[in-house]
Amino acid sequence: MFKFWRFTPIAFVLVLAAGSFAISYAQESRQEASKVQLPADTQALIRLNFRAMIDSPLAKKMGIEKASEIIKSVPGGEILTEMGFDPLKDIDSITVAAPGGGDMEKGLIIVAGKFKADKLVAKANEEAKNNKDKVKIHKAGDKTIFEIIIPEQQVPMFMMIASNNTILASTQKEYLEKALANSGSKLANKDFSALVEKLDPDLAISMVAVSSAFPSKSLPEQAKAIMDGIESIGGGIGIDKDVTLKINVFTKDEDSSKKLKETMDQGMAQALGFLGLMAAQQKELTPVLEFVKSMKTSSKAKMMSLEGKLPGKMIEDAILGSK
């Protein structure tokens, strides 16, 4: 069975590079587009802030600017050049939002940035005409939805350009249509809405979820007992000169917080043992090992926190080689 969360943002970028799609669009500023409109039933999200990643001192020191040329050289890269599209410059963020619970196969991918719609339209028409087995066109009122057949995926992706600055995608056409129709609606879950408002916009990777987003009924009893004690999760990863992690888990009571901390500590101890063996054979895994080593948990009242830090110098040495 296909789970929406398995379709990663990285896969979406590859699809965007390989085939394009379009819809009639409205003008809006890039700054306004960065305030991504979530479907009203969203209860969990993961957001990749491309600008925070790419513009960080660490990324620049690693030579991120060279990546554009590398992307252009891979298969399908010529399509990007033809459309005047540079993922490193033109994508601001990718948000994966889901209602969760019993609807884990639903979800919406929201790509915010700047897109040359006229070239996307031309390419979309060309692909639909020449590759009917890979690209199909659907109408939703005056809107156009492109169905993209993805190799090795059980289900296709349905995509549209909602505006000059926003691209939407989902594995379910009906959910995509519903998300567009309800654009502007407030988030139904007030607890989730409050957490989204508190998200640090400078985080490179951020995540927020409320307990109702998790399908706890299908979990093993031990895991279910832990999940039943959780109310919400929020936090993420920041990238500057170093990489930092901070996740806060809010629980129903103090005892749940303590039990969660104990479980996390046991899990990290097991992970360290495994990573230690792996890193001894593959030196490039050393930063991952050191990152996990740096992680510390704490429990206070009804909140369990996980924090960690990886020096940028260690990443540079692992990838570029120490000098």
* pTM of this structure: 0.81
What b-and-e string marks burial along 211-226, b requiring 16 or more CB atoms within 10 Å of the CB? bbbbebeeeeeeeeeb
The reported pLDDT for the residue numbered 126 is 83
Mean pLDDT of 186-214: 91
Report helix angle 286-294 to 254-281, nearest 10.
160
- The predicted-structure confidence for 292-318, as pLDDT tens digits, reads as follows 999 999 999 999 999 999 999 988 887
CA angle 13, 15, 17 (to 5 degrees): 70
Rounded to whole angstroms, how far apart are CA atoms 42 and 101? 11
Mean pLDDT of 27-48: 69
Query: Of 8-12, 112-116, 141-145, where does the model show the most confidence?
Result: 112-116
Rounded to whole angstroms, how far apart are CA atoms 171 and 1? 12
104 band by pLDDT with thresholds 50, 70 and 90: low
Tokens of 280: 């001894």
Amino acid code (one letter) for 33: A
* Among 166, 171, 162, residue whose Cα is nearest residue 108: 171
The reported pLDDT for the residue numbered 266 is 94
- The predicted-structure confidence for 272-281, as pLDDT tens digits, reads as follows 999 999 999 9
Query: Of 73-77, 123-127, 184-188, 261-265, where does the model show the most confidence?
Result: 261-265
102 band by pLDDT with thresholds 50, 70 and 90: low
Average pLDDT, the chain: 81
State what percent of residues in the chain have pLDDT above 70: 80
- The predicted-structure confidence for 43-100, as pLDDT tens digits, reads as follows 999 999 999 999 999 998 888 877 766 666 666 556 666 666 777 888 899 999 998 7
Given a contact cutoff of 8 angstroms between Cβ atoms, the answer to whether 303 and 247 are in contact is: no
Q: How far is CA 118 from CA 23, 124, 129, 155, 161, in A?
A: 10, 10, 17, 28, 11
The reported pLDDT for the residue numbered 28 is 39
Continuous H helices in the chain: 9-18, 30-33, 50-54, 57-61, 67-73, 77-83, 87-90, 117-130, 173-181, 190-197, 221-228, 254-281, 286-294, 312-320
The reported pLDDT for the residue numbered 6 is 45
The reported pLDDT for the residue numbered 308 is 96
Mean pLDDT of 9-24: 36
Residues 6+ apart with CB under 8 A from 166: 33, 36, 37, 110, 111, 112
Q: Which of 52-66, 74-88, 126-140, 257-271 has the lowest mean pLDDT?
A: 74-88
The reported pLDDT for the residue numbered 140 is 78
Query: 221 pLDDT exceeds 50?
Result: yes
The reported pLDDT for the residue numbered 24 is 32
The reported pLDDT for the residue numbered 245 is 96
Rounded to whole angstroms, how far apart are CA atoms 217 and 117? 44
- The predicted-structure confidence for 142-193, as pLDDT tens digits, reads as follows 778 888 887 777 788 898 877 778 888 999 998 888 887 777 778 999 999 9
The reported pLDDT for the residue numbered 242 is 95
Q: Which of 17-21, 70-74, 119-123, 269-273 has the lowest mean pLDDT?
A: 17-21
